[in-house]
Amino acid sequence: MPRTDAPRVGVLALQGDVREHVRALLAVGAHAVEVRRASDLDGVDGLVLPGGESTTIGRLLRVFDLLEPLRGAIVDGLPVFGSCAGMILLARDVLDGRPDQPLLGGLDVVVRRNAFGRQVDSFEAELDLAGVAGGPVRAVFIRAPWVEKVGDEVEVLGRVGDRTVAVRQDNVLATAFHPELTGDTRMHELFVDIVESAKPWKKTVEGMGRDR
């Protein structure tokens, strides 16, 4: 069981590999909360956008009236971690997307959807990632996007060849691959650290914040 004061991290649960993210979050000691409607965001300290299909997730965000509440929460500084389809949703623009595909934004990047090829072109790679200690991370790419342009505020955390596949901008983290599928929970640990340092009570209650 997570500690009572452990961060509550939502997982957008409309489509995609929700269970795998929930499992990884529990493994790193966070509370995991499935988010299907705007009211599920109450009391959530951070949010994961899972891998899946960004066009489907986008359509369901519209159906469930989540698009504007989520855009607002991200603008207000809610920490978010997107993997694969989640990275696409966080981009400011998408190349090779569907024309009507809605994005949430939050990351000043342009991504190319399905950039590494089709389903049969899925692959794995060992990646050294900035901010992740303990050796390379095994990264699973499934019809993955890559980041084609990054804004000045965006930190590149990792590349495959010369293609950017992991980025961070303040409290927003995104990977073109699926850390939730490998059992290596270091990306989730990094995200939960971001969530813990962003927790409002830590900033506002003087002297009560923990050291990390």
Please, which residue, 30 or 181, has the CB nearer to ligand GLN? 181
* Cα dist from 2 to 29, 70, 92, whole Å: 5, 25, 34
Q: Which of 10, 51, 79, 106 binds ligand GLN (CB under 6 A)?
A: 51
* Position 199 contacts ligand GLN (CB under 6 A): no
Determine whether 68 is an active site residue.
no
Determine whether 21 is an active site residue.
no
- DSSP 8-state assignment for residue 115: T
Q: Which of 59, 114, 125, 138 binds ligand GLN (CB under 6 A)?
A: 114
Q: Which of residues 94-113 bind ligand GLN (CB under 6 A)?
A: 113
Nearest to 167, CA basis, from 185, 145, 182: 145
Bridging pattern class, strands 123-127 and 31-35: unpaired
Q: Which of 142, 154, 160, 166 binds ligand GLN (CB under 6 A)?
A: 142
Active-site choice (178, 188, 189, 196): 178
Residue 120: CB minimum distance to ligand GLN, A: 13
Please, which residue, 14 or 85, has the CB nearer to ligand GLN? 85
Q: If phi over 0 gives left and psi between -120 and 50 gives alpha, with beta otherwise, what is residue 45?
A: alpha
Determine whether 180 is an active site residue.
yes
* Position 85 contacts ligand GLN (CB under 6 A): yes
3-class DSSP state for residue 133? Answer: coil
* Position 84 contacts ligand GLN (CB under 6 A): yes
Nearest to 175, CA basis, from 82, 58, 54, 107: 82
Please, which residue, 15 or 185, has the CB nearer to ligand GLN? 15
With the CA atoms of 132, 138, 144 and 150 taken in that order, what torsion angle do they form, in degrees rounded to the nearest 10? 20
Please, which residue, 114 or 182, has the CB nearer to ligand GLN? 114
70-97 burial string, b = 16+ CB within 10 Å, else e? Answer: bbebbeeebbbbbbbbbbbbbbeebeeb
Provide the annotated active-site residues: 84, 178, 180
Interface with ligand GLN by CB under 6 A: which residues?
Answer: 51-54, 84-85, 88, 113-114, 142-143
